[in-house]
Chains A and B, each alone.
Chain A
């Protein structure tokens, strides 16, 4: 069996299983958890596309998420727009911020770019609190309408968006785009010497990454039915990065696995209540030490090669 067909089969199977799971267990609760996991999946995949491929880790991804969510919130409550406008609005808002932040900071070296983006998210969080009269401050914006009233259909919609995101970004990653982004990770100056406009590709990939993150943020807003400054928190960004690490940097599809695993894990730890974030942080340390290549992608790689009859 060809590797490509194995991949495709695996993807279809995964989507089918995820779609059917809440029906099988007949659990509203599980559906909620999976919905959140799927949204985290969208966020993680979008992060992986830019940072995983180019190696320029962005510590402020929560900025794009929060901006998308708040755009949805404002549009839906203050302006009374139809909820479906939130999706393009969330994307647009995130893209704007990606350009604002990205253009000046993408020329910085690794850690400084990471921290500059982090600073951007922190500023935004602070601004939401300072201008509480317009943004609702700590409590944020409430009373957002659900996008689709039926939780099941909404869940399937989100799943569809996730599948679309993975297909699109994964496809880009396997195309010339991916090659160029990986080359940028290898050596930027040499990339320029090969005739490629490195700045353009860096900014473009950040914009694409942001667009999907913003859309995910809008979806989240219509799921939680409220948005708060907590969305901009460092913890959100770090959680996503951890999910991508677990999934396997640069694999795109691995991030979905990472999101699923970590979301489920935190739900199971719900009984431990306040220990969740602690477990997360320790898990991150352990992963950085022992599984730098991640869990999901390497495992899938081994399995698919065995099925294809190829010696790895």
Chain B
């Protein structure tokens, strides 16, 4: 059944039509991949879904409830959590405190913040770094922190924005395993934007391909790679790994 429903979403920035008539369905328990070259409008899409920007027209429904017009923190309160493309740790706070802040949202029952934070850190494998200052972590660890923080809000849907960006191959494999584990153990519904095709294709069950703000194809990973429009959008880009 459809958990997140996006219908005919539109957003213009001045002359630029960043998101053009985008529709997609995210089914409960799925991992949906958003594929598209740089500048295709993927992060804008996330911003629209999570209440950071308001769309010009269209509809976003979470389990039948409209998310339009809600400020970002309310969207999180309804169960949609996201990570950012560029890691944004809370400067000046420790790793543990970062996750604790995530646990202060409305969906989390009031209980021992620290304990819960430690559990989450355990899940992402950051227990040893709990007392470190978050801005001093390695990039790979910061990504894990982002995910832990998002998980702390007790989300029903997790939107990941290029989680593998800037990571080495070892870190990518580890993070990929983490995402798969989270999905399997918690039945978390996940949406994933990513460039790195190999890991992407192995993780997702469905793909929505976007270019120039428009949906150019949907389907299972094996079908999408054969889609001529997708290939055209990606000519010459398959070799280029998204090096940060």
Contacts and interface: CB of A to CB of B under 8 A. Distances in A.
Indicate yes or no for A touching B, C-beta below 8 A.
yes
Interface in A193-244: 193-198
Interface residues of B, number: 31
Contacts of A186: 89-93
A193 B93 contact: no
Contacts of B153: 194-195
Given A183-B93, A189-B52, A196 B88 contact: no
Interface stretch (B24-32, B103-111, B178-186, B215-223): B103-111
Nearest to B92: A186
Contacts, number: 79
B101 A192 contact: no
Given A183-B93, A186-B92, A190-B84, A195 B106 contact: yes
A193 B76 contact: yes
Contact of B113 (A176, A196, A198): A176
Contacts of A192: 52, 71-73, 76
B102 A194 contact: yes
A192 B52 CA distance: 9
Counting chain B CB atoms within 10 Å of each CB, which of A176, A180, A183 scores highest? A183
A179 interface: yes
A192 B53 CA distance: 13
A103 to B, nearest CB: 15
B91 A187 contact: yes
Interface string B95-120: 00110111011110000010000000
B76 A194 contact: yes
A194 B150 CA distance: 7
Contacts of A276: none
Contacts of A191: 90, 101
Contacts of A189: 52, 72, 84, 88
Given A176-B113, A179-B97, A189-B52, A194 B89 contact: no
B150 to A, nearest CB: 8
Interface of B: 50, 52, 71-74, 76-77, 81-82, 84, 88-93, 97-98, 100-102, 104-107, 113, 149-150, 152-153
12 contacts: A180-B101, A182-B97, A186-B93, A187-B89, A187-B90, A191-B90, A193-B76, A193-B150, A194-B76, A194-B101, A194-B104, A195-B81
